[in-house]
């Protein structure tokens, strides 16, 4: 039976690739809720597009990814909306608003929001408000456009839809006493000493299950598979660039020490596939965080949606097996790399006991303090631990910490080895990410720094997942400026399929690469080849250890 259409609810649908649109949608939802507007916030792929005509008011918050592409979660919805069979009156009577997130340095700036807006109009929906466009280039990021757009939206809803929006739009802003409740609840467990997790000799299967169980409990979990495909050990790491060359690129070799692929325990992948790695966090930072937040590292917990969230239809129950609190922090909470979101500062202000800290945090969370927060937090890539240390009087309950600290994400790298040439091994070419903030603080990428700094002798276990090459990984898989999948694609198209193999089988210190292609193929791929040639020329001058011989017929 289909759900009875709920006419009197503001529906907010979001499509996000890296979390910003989700954050913006949740903020809209919270602000609507504070104004007594019944609201539902959903990821767009959790919504059945056929039900769209039964909705009264829908707000879309969508980002643009790739080269003007829709986020993965929006693909099905967008395909549905593009069907020719949908009439020009299909969405008659449905009011809508679109807020887009993009970056004006891209050619197809906010393309998804623009094309969605147009398509909704074509299908007869009625725009409530001119579409809003958030821009990463704005001094305070996408929030620079979101704040005024949101205020305008509340005013319009108040005038146009009093059934939805009964209260004065300024009510919540004026009422400073509002305190939200966390969406999750945490239960502490008394676990006996014989628990298997306490055992030092933990086996791979138990470790895989522990990672799966722990990451499944995280409120910020991704939709992917939680249990690792295998554990890897680093066997060799070798710098490909010289100090001072301006780049820090490493050749890394791993071997699989366990695998759920087959009975024979060997791993399988194709050229161009992607390896996802769960990075380890600095143990010193984890200990400092536990101490700063007065958390008992030996405690055992389970994390579940709060009763209110469950009653709203969230059936995603966490498994009821306790995990060590310290393990939970290590595996799921990014405490020393990602920056917290604006809402973190708002909630922090409720738990500050020092008045000056409370005021500072309230200022940061206010529209007036938005630009200063952006400079202090995002531009400086302030970590959660740094923020907590800057406001020492704040003691946040664990529920809020778990809900609001950015989730620890896996990182994706394009595989640069061939499975047939190197059975049970996987090689990566990793560029160590490093940059300087406006206040001259050096920041480093968590995963690339960790991988390049590993000692092969230590045999650290690295949880890993294999994936088919995905479009959304484009930004991660560049090697020397040229995405590997493009190179592979080009050489496969031009029947020079042994390119990858040859470049691997020679030593990485003296790498020979022959490129052959006929006239026709050269014409079709001339742009890419031109790009590749200039990339290799740069490489040659920067990295004389590598010798590339290029010739064309």
Segment near ligand FMN (CB under 6 A); pick from 102-110, 230-238, 354-362, 491-499: 102-110
Residue closer to ligand FMN, measured from CB, 363 or 476: 476
CA dihedral sign, ordered 141, 145, 148, 154: negative
Nearest alpha carbon to residue 247 among 546, 548, 549: 546
Q: Helix, strand or coil for residue 311? A: helix
Count interface residues toward ligand FMN (CB under 6 A). 25
Residue 228 CA to residue 245 CA, distance in Å, equals 36
* Of 40 and 474, CB closest to ligand FMN: 474
Taking CB under 6 A as the criterion, the residue among 103, 372, 386, 478 binding ligand FMN is 103
> Toward ligand FMN, which CB reaches closer, 66 or 239?
66
Nearest C-alpha neighbor of 129 from the set 113, 108, 110: 113
Q: What six digits make up the tokens of 503?
A: 């470049």
Tell the smallest beta-carbon distance from residue 134 to ligand FMN (Å).
7
Report in angstroms how near the CB of residue 463 gets to ligand FMN at its nearest: 24
Binders in 466-525 for ligand FMN, by CB under 6 A? 474-475
- Return the number of the residue (145 or 396) whose C-beta is nearest ligand FMN: 145
Q: Which stretch binds ligand FMN (CB under 6 A): 66-74, 370-378, 462-470, 483-491?
A: 66-74
The answer to whether residue 67 forms part of the interface with ligand FMN (CB under 6 A) is yes
Residue showing tokens 């409990």? 217
Can you tell me which of 109, 343, 351, 548 binds ligand FMN, judged by CB under 6 A?
Answer: 109
Nearer to ligand FMN, 56 or 478 (CB): 478
Backbone angles phi, psi at 29, to 5 degrees: -60, -45
Stretch that binds ligand FMN, among 58-66, 331-339, 493-501, 508-516 (CB under 6 A): 58-66
Min dist CB 118 to ligand FMN, Å, is 16
Tell how strand 39-43 and strand 274-277 pair up: unpaired
String of b and e for 337-358 (b: at least 16 CB within 10 Å)? Answer: bbbbbbbbbbbbbebbeeeebb
Q: Tell which positions 69-88 bind ligand FMN, by CB under 6 A.
A: 71
Q: Could you tell me which residues come within 8 angstroms of residue 323 by beta carbon, excluding any fewer than 6 positions away?
A: 197, 210, 213, 214, 217, 300, 301, 302
Comparison of 44 and 210: residue with beta carbon closer to ligand FMN = 44
Answer for which of 11, 13, 21, 412 binds ligand FMN (CB under 6 A) is: 21
Which residues in 255-294 contact ligand FMN (CB under 6 A)?
Answer: none
* Three-state secondary structure of 514-533: CCCCCHHHHHHCHHHHHHHH
Name the residue whose CB lies closest to ligand FMN: 102
- Minimum Å distance from CB 136 to ligand FMN? 5
- Contact residues for 401 (Cβ-Cβ < 8 A; gap 6+): 293, 333
Handedness of CA 194, 187, 337, 289 (dihedral sign): negative
The single residue listed with the structure tokens 């020979």 is 512
Question: Could you give the residue ranges of the DSSP H alpha helices within 393-479?
Answer: 398-404, 446-453
Structure tokens at 514: 């022959």
Cβ atoms 250, 238 nearer than 8 A: yes
With CB under 6 A as the contact rule, the residue among 9, 108, 160, 542 that binds ligand FMN is 108
Nearer to ligand FMN, 237 or 339 (CB): 339
Question: Contact letters (x/-) for ligand FMN, 135-164, by CB under 6 A?
Answer: -x-----x----------------------
Stretch binding ligand FMN (CB under 6 A), from 13-21, 301-309, 322-330, 430-438: 13-21
Among the listed ranges 65-73, 205-213, 296-304, 499-507, the one in contact with ligand FMN (CB under 6 A) is 65-73
**Which residues sit at the interface with ligand FMN, rule CB under 6 A?**
16-21, 63-68, 71, 101-103, 106, 108-111, 136, 142, 474-475
């Amino acid at each position: 039976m289909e759900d009875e259409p709920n006419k009197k609810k503001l529906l907010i649908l979001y499509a996000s690739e890296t979390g910003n649109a989700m954050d913006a949608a949740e903020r809209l939802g919270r602000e609507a809720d504070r104004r007594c507007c019944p609201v539902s916030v959903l990821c767009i792929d959790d919504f059945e597009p056929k039900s769209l005509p039964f909705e009264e008011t829908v707000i879309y918050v969508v980002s643009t990814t790739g080269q003007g592409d829709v986020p993965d979660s929006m693909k099905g919805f967008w395909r549905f909306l593009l069907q020719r069979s949908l009439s020009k009156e299909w969405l008659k009577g449905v009011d809508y608003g679109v807020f887009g997130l993009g970056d004006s340095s891209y050619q197809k700036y906010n393309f998804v929001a623009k094309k969605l807006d147009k398509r909704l109009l074509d299908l007869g929906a009625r725009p409530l408000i001119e579409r809003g466009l958030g821009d990463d280039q704005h001094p305070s990021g996408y929030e620079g456009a979101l704040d005024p757009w949101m205020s305008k939206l509340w005013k319009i809803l108040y005038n146009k839809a009093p059934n939805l929006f009964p209260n004065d739009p300024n009510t919540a802003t004026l009422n400073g006493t509002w305190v939200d409740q966390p969406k999750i609840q945490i239960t502490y467990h008394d676990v006996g000493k014989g628990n298997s997790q306490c055992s030092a000799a933990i086996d791979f299967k138990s470790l895989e299950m522990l990672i799966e169980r722990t990451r499944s409990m995280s409120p910020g979990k991704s939709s992917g598979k939680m249990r690792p495909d295998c554990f890897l050990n680093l066997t060799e790491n070798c710098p490909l660039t010289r100090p001072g060359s301006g780049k820090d690129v490493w050749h890394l070799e791993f071997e699989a020490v366990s695998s759920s692929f087959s009975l024979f325990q060997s791993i399988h992948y194709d050229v161009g596939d992607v390896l996802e790695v769960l990075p380890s966090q600095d143990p010193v930072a984890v200990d400092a965080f536990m101490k700063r937040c007065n958390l008992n590292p030996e405690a055992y917990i389970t994390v579940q949606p709060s009763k209110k969230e469950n009653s709203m239809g969230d059936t995603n129950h966490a498994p009821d097996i306790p995990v060590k609190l310290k393990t939970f922090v290590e595996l799921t909470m990014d405490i020393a790399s990602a920056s917290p979101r604006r809402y973190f500062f708002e909630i922090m202000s409720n738990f500050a006991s020092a008045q000056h800290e409370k005021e500072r945090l309230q200022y940061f969370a206010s529209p007036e303090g938005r630009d200063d927060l952006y400079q202090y937090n995002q531009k400086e890539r302030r970590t959660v631990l740094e923020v907590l240390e800057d406001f020492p009087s704040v003691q946040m309950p664990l529920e809020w910490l778990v809900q609001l600290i950015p989730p620890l994400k896996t990182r994706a790298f394009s595989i640069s080895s061939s499975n047939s040439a190197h059975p049970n091994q996987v090689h990566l070419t990793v560029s160590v990410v490093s940059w300087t903030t406006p206040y001259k603080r050096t920041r480093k990428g968590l995963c690339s720094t960790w991988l390049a700094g590993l000692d092969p002798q230590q045999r650290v276990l690295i949880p890993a997942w294999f994936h088919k090459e995905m479009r959304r990984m484009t930004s991660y898989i560049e090697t020397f400026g040229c995405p590997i999948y493009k190179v592979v694609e080009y050489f496969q198209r031009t029947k020079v399929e042994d390119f990858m193999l040859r470049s691997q089988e020679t030593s990485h210190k003296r790498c020979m690469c022959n490129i052959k292609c006929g006239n026709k193929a050269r014409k079709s791929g001339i742009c890419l080849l031109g790009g590749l040639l200039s990339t290799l020329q740069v490489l040659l001058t920067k990295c004389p250890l590598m010798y590339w011989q290029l010739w064309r017929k």
